[in-house]
Amino acid sequence: MSRLNVTIDYTAITTNVAALAARTTADVMAVVKADAYGHGLVASAAAARTGGAGWLGVAQPQEALDLRAAGDSGAIFTWLYGPDDMPAHDLVAADVDVSVSSIEVLAVVIEAARDTGRTARIHIGVDTGLGREGCAMAQLPALVDAVAAAQRDGVVDAVGMWSHLAWADQPGHPTIDAQAATFRAALDMASAAELPTTVRHLANSACTLTRPDLHFDVVRPGIAVYGLPPVADPDGANWGLRPAMRVTSRVVAVKSVDAGQGVSYGHTYVTEQATTLALVSAGYADGVFRSASNAGPVTIRGQRYTVSGRVCMDQFVVDVGQGAPVAVGDEVVLVGPDGPSATEWADAAGTIDYEVVCRFGIGRIKGIA
């Protein structure tokens, strides 16, 4: 069991989705992949729905099926699989919208539609320049023709087309407009083939916040749903979003030491004067970044401190200063509105806040604030 306590303010997710919805005339697809970025799949999805999300997006198909099993009956989209690992029959039977980026995946979807007697709802995935998921533009004409044939046969309904941006978190980057132009060319190709594609989506969190001209029919905010926008708000108001995750641990020992005391493995931290050391019961086995040794921020009794020495497997030390009123049992806030932010931990660990919330959150949620 983790020694971290992770609580989620689901009302923050609801208000975040509502704030995002207020910025667009498009429908909102709240991305809840990876256990909702560590925030809890089912509860986060419900909170997003309450905030006005008409769609939910997940990478892994099992998460879509888990949402259906939990009772979500709204529009759900999933996109990450190959032809050999796609549970197409289950997805089609559960009325989940699926991405099709290759002839091979389309064949699996067609077979599932025929076997289940249901028309499969598909979104054609296009690689407009990310170089990741999606059909390359050179192969897109063949895929569009195959989808159009399946549409005429009544086994699929090509309701959507989508792509993903590479540099949306750097507003003004030339790839954004270049990818948008390629996406529009792909849409023209689908239109020429008389495919409906009325669910067009390109915008991620950054694009949702900064490029309303690229919202099309649906926007797909992910990290912003959890109150962590990937682009700075020029007004300094965090786009009206509120972080939803709080991560804490406890002080399990306190000791006074002299100047010159080495702390933790390798003595990468040495006390400069007589001081007090607080031992915190959490480490890299719990998701605390070892790369944040001598850098990770924490708050104890309202005071900000920094991890002192190396983060260990199940503990780390904080130099709280001589005579500090820190005691065994005190709460240690790693992330939260009353402590450091996930972004501060990302800076300390040399990563991004996406990884911080996923590392701290997945499998560690203990309660709901």
- Per-residue pLDDT of 8-32, as tens digits, reads 999 999 999 999 999 999 999 999 9
Rounded to whole angstroms, how far apart are CA atoms 252 and 328? 5
Q: 367 falls in which pLDDT band (50, 70, 90)? A: very low
**pLDDT (tens digit, 9 = 90+) per residue, 205-231?**
999 999 999 999 999 999 999 999 999
Instruction: Please state the rounded mean pLDDT for residues 156-173.
Output: 97
Return the CATH architecture of domain 10-230.
Alpha-Beta Barrel (3.20)
- pTM equals 0.95
CA–CA separation, 367 and 369 (whole Å): 7
Distance linking the first and last C-alpha atoms of the chain? 20
The pair of structure tokens assigned to 319 is 């130099």
Query: How many DSSP H helices and E strands does the chain contain?
Result: 11, 19
CATH 3.20.20.10, the chain: domain bounds: 10-230
Decide the pairing of beta strands 97-100 and 120-127: parallel
Angle in degrees, CA 18, 22, 23, rounded to 5: 125
CATH classification code of 245-368: 2.40.37.10
Those residues with Cβ within 8 angstroms of residue 235's Cβ, 6 or more apart along the chain or in another chain: none
Q: Which residues pair with 5 in a beta bridge?
A: 248
**Residue 138 corresponds to which amino acid?**
A
Which residues lie closer than 8 Å to 160 by C-beta, 6 or more apart?
A: 77, 97, 121, 122, 123, 124, 197, 198, 199, 200, 201, 218
State the pairing for strand pair 97-100/269-270.
unpaired
DSSP readout, 36-96? Answer: HHHT-HHHHHHHHHHHT-SEEEESSHHHHHHHHHTT--SEEEE----TTT--HHHHHHTT-
What is the CB-side half-sphere exposure of residue 97 using CA atoms within 13 A? 23
Segments of the chain assigned to CATH 2.40.37.10: 245-368
The residues assigned a catalytic role are 33, 265
